[in-house]
Chain A
Amino acid sequence: MRQLHPEPAGDTLLEARNLSFSYSRPVVQEFSLGLPPGKVTGLIGPNGSGKTTVLRLLDGILRPTGGDVLLHGSVPLARLSRKEIARRIAMVPQNGGSYYYQSVFEFTMQGRSPHLSLLGFESERDIDIVRDTLEMTCLSALSHARVSEISGGERQRLLLARALAQQAEILLLDELTANLDINYQVELMRLVRRITRERKLASLVVSHEINLLASFCDWIVLMAEGKIFRQGPVAEAVTEESLRGIFGLDFFVRRSATGPLEILPVLEP
């Protein structure tokens, strides 16, 4: 029972229309998705299902072999320069930020790059924005520390801070919570959801943590083999049947007393 792509309510900031991409074999096929303002969308799928490719297509790093990516429902991404895209779309890549000599402040300042003049000097306003962003991501105390000196949890927050400093309206997060303890995962997702709502951003979060996405997202997309298997509000999209469909495993899904779904894979040794 595959659901046809339902239109998300209201206007979308970023929209994928029938996106396809292939190297020697198809990686993404007929992928359609709208990202509305103020909502967190989650993207789940097994390894190799094309999640990262979708994010790179949505940020214009890869050119789709078919279909379009549209800003505000009408402006094709392909028509914008990299700088224009970076003012509108911020992305945290999966293995971002390998330049460890910099300070936390300097690294976050990189996020201001698309807003700088030709010669690339920061204004007082850029400095204020970076300070505010560090404050918001609880990194102010570390602003002089080197990137190589901070912990894994802090580094993921730093990557988010750099993306937020871009002041883009669209936020694409690839495995932001990977390799983090559960308390850091929850803390980061709370932050993402709060900022998404406060700033009316359109956020797309890729993660392997089904429970985390089910708790913090407004909309869930399930993906397998390059295609959307199902999408919809959390309770409708995340079912025992749909999870079995994409992972080939049995799951228990039930609504907890406090509201969010509880999802448990059935592990038979």
Chain B
Amino acid sequence: MNRLSDRKIVGKTLWLLAAWLLAALVSLNIGSVSISASEMLRIFENHGETQLAAILFSVRLPRVLMGSLVGAALASAGAAFQSLLRNPLADPYVLGVSTGASLGTILYSIFVTTSRAPDSGGSFLYGRPLAAFLGAACTIAAVYVIGGNPRAGETSQRLLLAGIVFASFLSSINVFLLTSTNQADLRGIFYWLIGDLSRPVDPSIYVVAVAVFAGFALLYACSHGLNLIATGEEDALILGVSVPRVKAGVYAVASLVTGAVVSVSGPVAYIGLICPHIARMMFGSDNRILFPTVFVFGAIFTLLADTLARTVLSPVELPVGVITALCGAPLFIYLLHRRRSGA
């Protein structure tokens, strides 16, 4: 009997964490300045104030952690949306949630610039992630209203279509706002809109990290309920799941997690789409094992994608969103095709 146990879940997750650690070490090691393993060891031992130590601790390490956080969050949100909508094509980017979160972030920074309010790096840490979350939450609500059919209940195809349309609409608002407000750093903004991890980390990252881990814990608590909802909502109700509460909760939490990281990285595409599929192939579709494994797997995937993004054209850095979209778009088409031919 291929039974799922807590031991199996902890085992697989630890195994993935080890892989993440290895990927992190490799990523710390390479870049425009290569830091060899022995040099790294020496830096860790001495805490030396050398230039290499500065690169390692204030540039690469924060970036490695940030990339991991972004990947873990988007992959978990994607797994949650796919499970909730019972559709393998759902993810925060396709549903427009990421774009909504970036609109929130942009509006917040315009507000900060024009009102000269304290920047998110200063006293008000929550501002930017909160604005992004509100943008994400409003988007998913709007998509739900547009795509849902009050008589027949929402169908996942309609929701996805509404999401795609809404995403392109919001994305043009984003570009309009950015161009019309005379932003200085157009190249940086352009990168951020594609999904970029090269910006310096500011203290709001702590708020983001707390949101991501708390959100993950909440999603995990819903994992078995989501398994049953996949069987059918009526069956889930009969088997003791408060379906409306679980659905509303998962929509809200997945939007929170997405909004939190998008406020840092911008809307990185396709992580939420690819990672759950690969994790499902490796570990099965039971959400109780899928959620923890996809959390770590998303971290590894994004970390590696970002490492590639900053080294492949070194010293020029690509936005990480370019790499994830290069991998993700073909997979999306493949899934779409397989679905159509399977139906």
Contact = CB atoms under 8 A, between A and B. Distances in A.
A82 B6 CA distance: 25
Interface stretch (B169-177, B229-237, B251-259, B295-303): B229-237
B333 to A, nearest CB: 24
| Residue in B3, B230, B239 whose Cβ sees the most chain A Cβ within 10 Å | B239
Interface in B1-26: 1, 3-6
A8 B243 CA distance: 34
A105 B240 contact: no
Contacts of B230: 99
Interface string A167-192: 00000000000000000000000000
B228 interface: yes
B240 A83 contact: yes
A120 B242 contact: no
B313 interface: no
Contacts of A105: 1
B288 A99 contact: no
Interface string A85-96: 111001101001
B221 interface: yes
Contact of A110 (B1, B239, B288): B239
Interface string A222-259: 00000000000000000000000000000000000000
A59 B220 CA distance: 27
Contacts of B240: 81-87, 113-114
Interface in B204-261: 220-221, 223-224, 227-228, 230-232, 234-235, 237-243
| Range for the number of chain A residues in contact with chain B | 20 to 34
B225 to A, nearest CB: 8
Nearest to B230: A99
Contacts of A203: none
B221 A118 contact: yes
Interface residues of B, number: 25
Contacts of B227: 120
Contacts of B221: 118-119
B234 A61 contact: yes
A59 B231 contact: no
A119 B288 contact: yes
A192 to B, nearest CB: 17
B217 to A, nearest CB: 11
B109 interface: no
A120 B246 CA distance: 15
16 contacts: A61-B238, A84-B240, A85-B240, A93-B238, A96-B235, A98-B231, A98-B232, A99-B231, A99-B235, A110-B228, A113-B228, A113-B239, A113-B240, A119-B223, A119-B288, A122-B3
Given A113-B239, A114-B239, 14 more contacts: A59-B237, A93-B234, A93-B235, A93-B238, A96-B232, A96-B238, A98-B231, A99-B230, A101-B285, A105-B1, A110-B235, A119-B220, A120-B223, A120-B224
